Structure 1
């Protein structure tokens, strides 16, 4: 009897085990089939588009659309550009679909590729600006993430269907445009299409920039808040104008610090500059406590690669277009929970290129610069030392489209006890007492946070920013053996990239 029961149990276990594993196998097959279908559709579009480029009207529209830089790159998102008209009154889609034998099938292909994008690269002798649409007929390359990962060649086609093998790493000398998926936008609404009735529903897809750094057109919806605890944050703010006069001797050049509170803290040589910026604590004026202000927040002001090798690491694929630097700012709260704020920075390889500079009319040594100042600094968050403690972690990568993966990073912060929730009779709130940790005991909170990335993105590693690190340290020369001396801004260094982070006014 025991043997019968045991045998029955084994059979049931095998049955349910097989039943459980079945859908995973089916999903893998469906995923593979979907990728193959996607690749086949892109290939058919690419070959059709290559033939259509013989039409000068197609080239003219494409150049015009690329120059709009709707996502801050020379990307033509086909779904948003296909109805653009030529001088003859025909749309881009009408002109291209004239080069296919089955227009209905071609429409279905376009519908199945909502992020289909035509990228006009910046080559040595060809770019959106330089494109002579009367005479230059580019070939069309099809970007394949899996081919790039496997070090396979980049395939390109001309109007006659001839195949050319290019390199992802080496820029071509002749004109080329690239068919790819757009990594800077996402579909904000699903378009309805019925093969049975052969027509679309009454609405088109709408598209959303994945980050405010990638929104350069009203054709794109504002990005979602990327503040993962769902609090509302401003994505960016204009940096205050640099003052013309400092409040101390101009030879110190502190007037180059644009924000009032950090400039004062620097001038007064305060031991803890952020204590003054965020809490108004100023021992030189006998102000030993203060409540958190809402006037300032931390901002990413500039980025700089650590060296030329680090820059080469993220610029080894010319089909990728402009760089998408993704910064995840991760904090731990006093209760042990975590918060992650994701920011995107768009720039070109030229923006970060190390260039040798020499002052005019001087014999001073040439010096290297490669710092890119963001047109609009990216606001992160005001630094509530009671809530977030003393340390923020920055996890940085250069994003490339690919299969989504995750990494786990450990995050910790120290929390001091020099805060009080109720001071006096009429004043209610969280007050900080004393500079730094105030000589009180500290408690460390740690947790692990999952960060999303892709298998093709370049990891630029991690860096830590401490609340008590000086925002600005004593002045340094602008170049070797030169005068004047400028205040030195602290940077978060990951080993591959440096982020200049400082508090700026948000009012």
Structure 2
């Protein structure tokens, strides 16, 4: 009897020890216990219609990736193309691409009948590979019509855990889980390859193969195109139905007038302007744009130079800055720094890929009440913006183990946009005072969707009276007569703007740049010339005239 009783007890003891030792969970304090070890029930996730549609797509794609090896190959290859300079695969552009049928010899996970998996494995297009997992084709058509920018993103996870570059599509152990982004939460719901559903807390990064369903933030539907063809059964669209929101996301965009810089990134004309006006009371841009000096007080506008955003850095505490731009926010949301719930004010940002930023540039107008404006957009990788360190840990039971990564934000980095490695063009305008105001406002935001709304606003700027167009012989020239404001005082004018702002964004503040500000300064310690830096409170940036032609 003792022998019979010992076996069950021994097995129970062994299982308990193995389960405990295999969990791999690190010791936690009450604070970290609340942050990383509290499982969020999938059923508790609040999803709007957008989230529900993404979930249906994610479920179907997760199953199709298990069943269809060549579908995995297609997703990897399309991600590596970086058609929008990120590892994005836009569904509408690849859904009809061909794949090779390969017999599925695996097992059912108990949630999907094996016959459906086999049917998917015999598909010849992306769309036909995911179609068997929908209740009917109408479900997929609804997604195609309501989410035209639906995108599959292959993240580049820290510590080399997974990326499009390293993904071995032939390895069954690298069949990825499928996460999807929500507008209603920063926590990330996931459809496992085994059919199980779970949630990754916002501040954690997965350390296993995973892809993300989101909406593309770098393209938009052309306004003169219908989102869908209402007269056909399928939403037949191609690249002609979309456009990049900025040339900085188009790898094939031409740059006819790239900035021309020397090794120090400071043009000699700017250095001459500093040296001349350093001990004189004048404006550097008077010399840069019109060649004005104390002895030459009238000069035509040169178009050899144009203003550029030349540097960018997130300001303040680096952890606060990272958390702030990593969350999804909407108009009226509280400031994340004032919210105590970690699931609102913290996010690892791994589902974003590159961060996208908008710069709203208000130039004013001398002759019209409606001001001239431009929006410049650019993307930067997290490790472009921050110095980061990582640590990983494994959690779960013997039967369900996952590795997650904690990200530690160490410092912010300054981006030099004149460095060709970034391949970004942030050229603005020639500062023509006969057309624009003397004060330009710059408003920054990190944005998460391309959905926009029109907002009217007003901005004031100073207007010069001594810059006008004149006929000089047979040439029409823009002449500036007199240094600074000339013999007359400046006039303050209010311009109105009707700007399109993204509805889900993180505002990063604004700052004024004036024609009469120094373009460059000289470090008194090192003697090195540097561009002037401005601050919005959340962003530090530089604006500088840069040569665009000879």
TM-score by length of 2: 0.69
Q: What are the equivalent positions in structure 2 for 1:317-332 lying under 5 Å apart?
A: 317-332=349-364
Counterpart position of 2:504: 456
TM superposition shift of 1:179:
0.9
Does 2:114 align with 1:79? no
Q: 1:378 aligns with which of 407, 423, 426?
A: 426
Shift in alpha-carbon separation, 1:199–1:450, aligned structure 2, 3 A = closer
Does 1 or 2 have the higher relative contact order (CA < 8 Å, sep 6+)?
Answer: 2
The runs of 4+ residues in structure 1 deviating greater than 6 Å are 200-204, 423-427
State the alpha-carbon separation in 1 of the partners of residues 189 and 523 from structure 2: 52
Does 2:106 align with 1:58? no
- Cα pair 2:434 2:468 within 8 Å, conserved: no
Bigger Cα displacement from structure 2, 106-115 vs 370-379: 106-115
Counterpart position of 1:265: 273
TM-score by length of 1: 0.75
Counterpart position of 2:60: 48
TM superposition shift of 1:175:
2.5
- Cα pair 1:463 1:492 within 8 Å, conserved: yes
TM superposition shift of 1:459:
0.5
Q: Deviations over 1:479-507 (max 9, x none)?
A: xxxxx542121123111112221111222
- Cα pair 1:121 1:321 within 8 Å, conserved: yes
Counterpart position of 1:91: 125
State the alpha-carbon separation in 1 of the partners of residues 237 and 365 from structure 2: 47
TM superposition shift of 1:138:
1.7
Q: Deviations over 1:298-354 (max 9, x none)?
A: 111221111313343213333222111100110222234311110001111211114
Counterpart position of 1:183: 217
Q: Deviations over 1:176-225 (max 9, x none)?
A: 21111112111233365457x645679776321111112125xxxx7xxx
Shift in alpha-carbon separation, 1:268–1:242, aligned structure 2, 3 A = same
Shift in alpha-carbon separation, 1:106–1:498, aligned structure 2, 3 A = same
Counterpart position of 1:208: 243
TM superposition shift of 1:423:
7.6
TM superposition shift of 1:77:
0.3
State the alpha-carbon separation in 2 of the partners of residues 476 and 368 from structure 1: 26
Does 2:253 align with 1:240? no
TM superposition shift of 1:64:
1.3
Does 2:353 align with 1:344? no
Does 2:306 align with 1:289? no
Counterpart position of 1:301: 310
TM superposition shift of 1:473:
0.8
Number of residues paired by the alignment? 423
- Cα pair 1:399 1:453 within 8 Å, conserved: no
Secondary structure of the structure 2 residue equivalent to 1:190: coil
TM superposition shift of 1:164:
0.5
Counterpart position of 1:12: none
Secondary structure of the structure 1 residue equivalent to 2:179: strand
Q: CA RMSD, aligned part only?
A: 3.1
Q: 2:538 aligns with which of 477, 496, 499?
A: 496
State the alpha-carbon separation in 1 of the partners of residues 147 and 207 from structure 2: 29
